Amino acid sequence: MNNYETVFILNPVLSDSQVKDAVKKYEQILQSRKETKIVAKEDWGLKKLAYPIQNKKSGFYQLFQFETHPDLINTLEVEFRRDERVMRYGTYKLDKHALAWAEKRRNRMQTNAKPTKKAQ
């Protein structure tokens, strides 16, 4: 089994429930294989694009990090191509250095998300 990271951009005109439905669809595709393990799932929110895609200047970014066999990647990417809600996607195989960096990023995000107490 290999480690992968998939980032996909959803159309910015989607409602919150439509975004959640799209994310749930791809999560279910990954979970359909018993040997697949989702390591992390991140919602990066609505972000401005570096260049227009389909005449849109922003999109909802989502990230999945998972462990699976290589044959599931083709199935996942076919579903991305068929779904008109997905503007762009990319799936990347992670080596040991990329895994370490992804873990640092997750830890940093968790640390920054915790509220801090003000001194009185």
Domain 2-110 has CATH 3.40.50.720: no
Q: Which residue has the higher pLDDT, 58 or 105?
A: 58
Q: Report pLDDT digits (tens) over 19-39.
A: 999 999 999 999 988 889 999
For the chain, domain boundaries: 2-110
Euclidean distance between CA atoms 57 and 49, whole angstroms: 5
- The answer for residues whose C-beta is within 8 angstroms of residue 94's C-beta and 6 or more apart is 2, 3, 4, 5, 65, 102
pLDDT-derived band at 113, boundaries 50, 70, 90: low
Segment 64-73 shows an average pLDDT of 92
